Amino acid sequence: MGSSNQSLKNTYYILKYLFVIVPIVAGLDKFANILTNWEQYISPTVARLLPISAATFMMIIGVGEIIAGFIVLKKPEVGGYIVATWLSVIALTLLAGFTYIDVAVRDFVMVVSAVTMAKLSKIISYV
């Protein structure tokens, strides 16, 4: 039983630090556009409705992602649901515009992973 408990803890910590690092890195990259040009993911219709430039909008999104990563670090259960919600909105937006369907599917996989991490955070202290 001890080995399975350790495997469960290891799985939890892998997921936890994944959802600390990835949002922070993606958030920081909204300012640098090294990983990708993030503005390309904004629907042209949405971009026209924004009262600010697409670049500024993505920087604001980046700040939110950085904050979400730190929430996962400090409060993984809450942070996991925040990240899952955030990723769901992104995926649904991509699906609504029928663009970047592959990214939307990957985001939904990450949603399931973030929820799993949040649920594990509740029980990991008892294992």
For the chain, domain boundaries: 2-126
CA nearest 114: which of 23, 8, 39?
Answer: 23
- pLDDT for 29-70, tens place per residue? 999 999 999 999 888 888 899 999 999 999 999 999 999 999
pTM equals 0.91
pLDDT reported for residue 50:
93
Phi, psi (deg, nearest 5) at residue 98: 50, 45
State how far the Cα of 64 lies from the Cα of 26, in Å rounded to an integer. 10
- What integer is the mean pLDDT of 115-123? 95
Position 127 confidence tier, pLDDT thresholds 50, 70, 90: low
